[in-house]
Structure 1
């Protein structure tokens, strides 16, 4: 059974090196576990969707909760799915420099990435729109 989990957190140390470290460590491990997903990071805020088998996704989320690079982890959305939306990436990364502020304003009060201020479905819709309109890389 496939599931999708969406969470937000704050970077313990907001730096490009943190994102690179997370991606370097996670991409090969995610491939081994059958996990796909996408990460958005801006101003020290992470929003990430992970997809895969229920046990693998739940285990990974448990690791994220214990990861010292993340703080204030919040589960935004969890659902059973029939197909993956982010199957092309073991961990794609949204280039936040290319985000149109109007997209952020469409979902929130300010033109800032603040997924914790949104309902889970709105956070997922924002993530999908960011994926569709911003450049995706592999960090």
Structure 2
């Protein structure tokens, strides 16, 4: 099956920027929907922005991106990377939250999430995900 990965950054709006409850709701719904659709990925919220990678079949990634563009919890969605890939980077997680770890901050190197190149965005997310335990 051909795989596709999209990485985007967006500005979090309202409670999505600050509330742990809203973030938990986003993650819960994303986990359920992504399991249903065969998608995997990670989400980072940092400095009132979201950075997210989504992987799966092209049609499923595109369908999710269409829904995300209409989601009022964020705005100014900018696609950083949209490409076919040989394998998943985040195969362990239908969706999980990654944090700005010290190693991830070194990748960011003082830049904002909205200033990342596609390669640095991918490196930031994979570095942050490397700090997570692999689910059993």
TM range (shorter): 0.7 to 0.9
- Whether 1:47 and 2:45 are equivalent positions in the alignment is no
* TM-score normalised to structure 1 length: 0.85
Distance 2:116 2:13 in 1: 22
- Where 1:46 maps in the other structure, the secondary structure is strand
Q: Where does structure 2 lack aligned partners over 5 or more consecutive residues? A: none
Using structure 2 for the length normalisation, give the TM-score.
0.87
Q: CA RMSD in A?
A: 2.0
Q: Structure 1: state its 5+ residue gaps.
A: none
Could you tell me whether the CA contact under 8 Å between 1:37 and 1:91 is conserved in 2? yes
Number of residue pairs matched by the alignment = 131
Deviation at 1:44, TM superposition (A): 1.8
Distance 1:54 1:106, change over 3 A: closer
For the residue of structure 2 that corresponds to 1:85, the secondary structure is coil
Q: 2:120 aligned with 1:122, yes or no?
A: yes
Structure 1 match to 2:94: 90
Q: 1:103 to 1:84 in 2, by over 3 A?
A: closer
